Amino acid sequence: NLVTLREPSSGRGLLVNKEAETELESGRYVVGVPVDTPAAICVFNDDGELEPLEMESDLHEELVALFENALEDYNLLLLRTPLTLTIQGEMDDDDDDDDD
């Protein structure tokens, strides 16, 4: 069952599959799984661990523009959907980096 998660401030939408739903006195709640592949822009910290880059930062916006162009080469679209970036298109599932 497809539903659109709509961000009130921007009007941007995220198409999700409704996996579960419940109702409480405070309202109706849904667990939604994005139809497109969720994506995050990350940076290596000083300890060498990967952490997400703040979506509101100027650097994040600059990197989104760079990755949008890079993904176009693979016929993929990087979408600025609410709560997370998503990638739309057929992604290659080949596991070329197996250590066998």
Above 70 in pLDDT, residue 40?
yes
Query: What is the phi/psi pair of residue 80, to 5°?
Result: -90, 75
Tokens representing 56? 């509101």
Within 8 A by CB and 6+ apart from 2, the residues are: 15, 16, 17, 18, 35
> What's the pTM?
0.77
Neighbours of 16 (CB within 10 A): 19
H or E element: which one contains 10? none
pLDDT band, residue 33 (cuts 50/70/90): very high
DSSP code of 35? Answer: S
The string of pLDDT tens digits covering residues 62-93 is: 999 999 999 999 999 999 998 899 999 988 76
